[in-house]
Amino acid sequence: MTTRKHVLLLLPTALAGTVILAACGGTGGGDGAAPTTEQTATAAADFNDTDAEFARMMIPHHEQAVEMSDLAEKNQAGTQVQDLADKISAAQGPEVRKLKGMLTTWGEKPLSDDAAAEVMDGMLTPDQMADLRKATGTEFDQLYLELMVEHHEGAVEMAQKEIHDGVNADAMQMAEDIVDAQESEISSMKGMLGDSGTDGGRKAAADG
């Protein structure tokens, strides 16, 4: 009889302990548990100098690609070049917004206007940009493709550095997406240049 009373007295304590353990298991972030908002934010904020440099440099780089592509319709680009320009604008505009969001999350500032104007890998000089603005029709198509190949190659180089040395998962994933998309576009553009039959087209095709 004494033993039975003792067991009954211990039972509520044991049940309470089970409830506590269950509650702890549900919020402790163990195996199989969904990450909390705080954990997700912490992971997004994890970055190094390479990540910050990638975002800072890629923002003006992408912005110039969009600016180049926005000239296509105004400058009477051919169908193939217009389709490519639309594709580049549609992809890189949203990426610019994501990159700016990363810098904000990390408490980092974008490049100043003066620094952004400096030539980086693949960036057009002011004279090259002026030439592109003046070109129309097939002349625009040829120049756009030649300059965008160089522009993309610069972006791929920057993205590969991020993949190799970065630590932020979001930035590294974007870098991988940039490499995949832009290497494919480089191949397509070199093919279009080769089909044009011009000296510049034959040179670009040979380089590919």
pLDDT for residue 153: 97
Most confident of 121-125, 127-131, 197-201: 127-131
What pLDDT is attached to residue 103?
A: 96
| Per-residue pLDDT, 112 | 81
Average pLDDT over residues 122-127: 93
Integer Cα distance of 126 and 147 in angstroms:
13
CATH number of the domain within which 75 lies: 1.20.1260.10
For residue 21, being part of any structural domain is answered with no
**pLDDT, tens only, 43-92:** 566 999 999 999 999 999 999 999 999 999 999 999 999 999 999 999 99
Candidates 34, 38, 17; CA nearest to 26 is: 34
Q: Residue 119: what pLDDT?
A: 64
Instruction: Tell me the residue range of the domain where 71 lies.
Output: 48-118+148-207
What is the rounded CA–CA span in Å between residue 208 and residue 193?
11
Domain count, the chain: 1
- Position 20 in a domain: no
Flag whether 134 is in a domain.
no
| pLDDT, mean of residues 10-37 | 43
DSSP 126-195: HHHHHHHHH--HHHHHHHHHHHHHHHHHHHHHHHHHHHHH---HHHHHHHHHHHHHHHHHHHHHHHHHHH
Asked if the structure places residue 158 within a domain, the reply is yes
159 in a domain, yes or no? yes
Identify the CA nearest to 200 among candidates 117, 116, 144. 144
Band (pLDDT 50/70/90 cuts) for residue 199 is very low
14 found inside a domain: no
